[in-house]
A and B are shown apart, each in its own frame.
Chain A
Amino acid sequence: DAGVIQSPRHEVTEMGQEVTLRCKPISGHNSLFWYRQTMMRGLELLIYFNNNVPIDDSGMPEDRFSAKMPNASFSTLKIQPSEPRDSAVYFCASSSGTSGRVDTQYFGPGTRLTVL
Chain B
Amino acid sequence: GNSVTQMEGPVTLSEEAFLTINCTYTATGYPSLFWYVQYPGEGLQLLLKATKADDKGSNKGFEATYRKETTSFHLEKGSVQVSDSAVYFCALTTGFQKLVFGTGTRLLVSP
A positions within 8 Å CB-CB of B: 4, 31, 33, 42-43, 45, 48, 50, 55-56, 91, 93, 95, 97-110
B positions within 8 Å CB-CB of A: 32, 41-46, 49, 51, 89, 93, 95-99, 101-104
Which A residues are in CB contact (< 8 Å) with B43? 4, 91, 93, 107-110
B101 and A99 within 8 A (CB):
no
B97 and A43 within 8 A (CB):
no
On whether A91 and B93 interact (CB within 8 A), knowing A42-B104, A43-B104, A104-B49, the answer reads: no
Which residue of A55, A98, A105 is within 8 Å of B46 (Cβ)?
A105
Q: CA of A102 to CA of B44 in the docked complex: distance in angstroms?
A: 17
Q: CA of A105 to CA of B98 in the docked complex: distance in angstroms?
A: 10
A-B contact count (CB 8 A): 55
Query: Nearest CB to that of B33 among chain A residues?
Result: A102
Q: What is the predominant secondary structure among interface residues of chain B facing chain A? A: loop
A102 and B98 within 8 A (CB):
no
Q: How far is the CB of B74 from chain A (nearest CB, A)?
A: 19
A-B pairs with beta carbons under 8 Å apart, 14 shown: A4-B43, A33-B99, A42-B103, A50-B97, A55-B97, A91-B43, A93-B43, A97-B97, A100-B95, A102-B93, A102-B95, A104-B49, A106-B46, A110-B43
